[in-house]
Amino acid sequence: MKMKNKMRLLTAAAFSVVGFAAFGQASLSKLPRVEEALLLDRSDGLLTEEQVRTVIRNAKTLIVKSHEVRSSEWLEKLATYYGTYGNYLRSTNNLEDPILRARQKVIVYNQNGMVHFAHGGEPVEQVIKIYERLGGRKGQILAANSWDEISEMRKGVLTLKEGAKLWVPYAQKSFPVLFRPVAWSRISSGFGFRRHPKLKYKRFHDGFDLVAPYGASVRASEAGVVTFAGWEGGYGNLVEIRHKNTTTRYGHLSKIKVLVGDKVGRKEIIGNVGSTGLSTGPHLHFEVRRNSDGKLQNPRKYLF
Ligand SMILES: [Zn+2]
């Protein structure tokens, strides 16, 4: 009980520090400046980082701020901390790679939608059209932003001011997402250089090793055409599927359930987890290649 009261006091103090007069009102009309929100972080000793996040998460007004990623944080966790969803943050920050790295700076906020950072001079009508393609609604955008603060007339056209932040409720981009080929317990080996468990020397690991029980179903991570199905050296029993933009490989299978030339649907069963080829135990070796240049991709870019 005592703790609760203390928290409430601290919350009030933090807001008087930054002067959020609108706190408590269900209005998005005023966008606090990023710099203002950053003051919350600098309330030395007054609030812990965790309390700052609680304040932001529970605030009714939109709060936008910059966040430096810690090694223990991933996109969805961060989004939940602040009160939104990973894909909104991914969209605003334009993160092709959803894997966050420590010390990376990302824009975070507490509402569902995207923030447009204005270069200055872009016609408002044009910007709204772009966001309508991403699920934004003109009416909602107009209602959510205070126009006298973010726009100016230039040659008779309403344009965004330089540095203005336009809030676009519910807009989000769509990024390529592959279906998880197997319900795995953990990734035993990631993408990149590693000491090979059997060969005992360092070599590049082309994909992910997903630990899964022997015999577990392996599913196509996207619809496509089977381009290989059979034994392939260290891969053991291998299936390769060519999709629209990527090609995926599934190695060490105990059983293969497709033939070359087969058309498979997303999530369709193509085989079973095994330990064939160069393998120390049952797991799925999973690889992703980009079709445009054949380059190996970190599967983390595509898997959620
Ligand atoms: Zn592997």
CA of 201 to the centre of ligand 1 (A): 14
Q: What is the pLDDT of residue 27?
A: 37
For ligand 1, an ion, list residues with CB under 5 A.
Answer: 209, 285
Q: Which residue has the higher pLDDT, 237 or 42?
A: 237
The pLDDT tens digits for 153-205 are: 999 999 999 989 999 999 999 887 888 899 866 677 777 777 676 666 666 77
| 272 and 254 Cβ atoms separated by less than 8 Å | yes
CA of 286 to the centre of ligand 1 (A): 7
CA of 208 to the centre of ligand 1 (A): 5
| 247 and 227 Cβ atoms separated by less than 8 Å | yes
d(CA 255, CA 33): 57
CA of 3 to the centre of ligand 1 (A): 49
- Angle value at C-alpha 96, between 72 and 122, nearest 5 degrees: 120
Give yes or no for residue 60 having a pLDDT over 60: yes
pLDDT confidence band for 65 (50 / 70 / 90): confident
Q: What is the pLDDT of residue 202?
A: 67
Alpha-carbon dihedral 289, 293, 295, 297, rounded to 10 degrees: -50
Q: Domain boundary at 83, 111, 139, which?
A: 111
Average pLDDT over residues 232-246: 94
CA of 177 to the centre of ligand 1 (A): 20
Question: Do 150 and 163 have their domain in common?
Answer: yes
Question: Do 91 and 131 have their domain in common?
Answer: no
Show the domain range for 69. 2-111
Contact partners, residue 132, CB within 8 Å, separation at least 6: 138
CATH of the domain at 284: 2.70.70.10
Question: Do 150 and 75 have their domain in common?
Answer: no
CA of 285 to the centre of ligand 1 (A): 4
Residue type at position 16: S
> How much is the mean pLDDT over the chain?
82
CA of 293 to the centre of ligand 1 (A): 22
Q: In terms of Cα–Cα distance, which of 206, 166, 157, 212 is closest to 187?
A: 212
CA of 261 to the centre of ligand 1 (A): 25
CA of 190 to the centre of ligand 1 (A): 8
CA of 269 to the centre of ligand 1 (A): 20
Residue 178 lies in a domain: no
Question: Do 145 and 90 have their domain in common?
Answer: no
Q: What is the pLDDT of residue 185?
A: 62
Residue 282 lies in a domain: yes
Q: What is the pLDDT of residue 304?
A: 54
**Number of domains making up the chain:** 3
CA of 234 to the centre of ligand 1 (A): 9
CA of 135 to the centre of ligand 1 (A): 38
pLDDT confidence band for 43 (50 / 70 / 90): low
Question: Do 10 and 59 have their domain in common?
Answer: yes
DSSP element (H, E) containing 285: strand 283-290
Question: Do 139 and 49 have their domain in common?
Answer: no
From the CB of residue 117, how many other CB atoms can be counted at a distance below 10 Å?
Answer: 14
| 200 and 162 Cβ atoms separated by less than 8 Å | no
- Which pair of structure tokens corresponds to residue 94? 């334009």
CA of 223 to the centre of ligand 1 (A): 22
Phi, psi (rounded to 5 degrees) for 87: -70, -30
CA of 184 to the centre of ligand 1 (A): 14
The pLDDT tens digits for 272-303 are: 999 999 988 999 999 999 898 998 888 877 77
Give yes or no for residue 12 having a pLDDT over 70: no
Residue 266 lies in a domain: yes
CA of 83 to the centre of ligand 1 (A): 36
Give yes or no for residue 232 having a pLDDT over 90: yes
Average pLDDT over residues 244-258: 95
Residue 179 lies in a domain: no
Collapsing DSSP states into helix, strand and coil, what is residue 67? strand
The pLDDT tens digits for 82-130 are: 999 999 999 999 987 777 888 999 999 999 999 999 999 999 999 999 9
| 171 and 129 Cβ atoms separated by less than 8 Å | no
CA of 128 to the centre of ligand 1 (A): 45
d(CA 30, CA 24): 13
| 34 and 65 Cβ atoms separated by less than 8 Å | yes
Question: Do 105 and 128 have their domain in common?
Answer: no
Q: What percent of the chain has pLDDT over 70?
A: 80
Residue 240 lies in a domain: yes
pLDDT confidence band for 29 (50 / 70 / 90): very low
Give Dmax (Cα) for the chain. 70
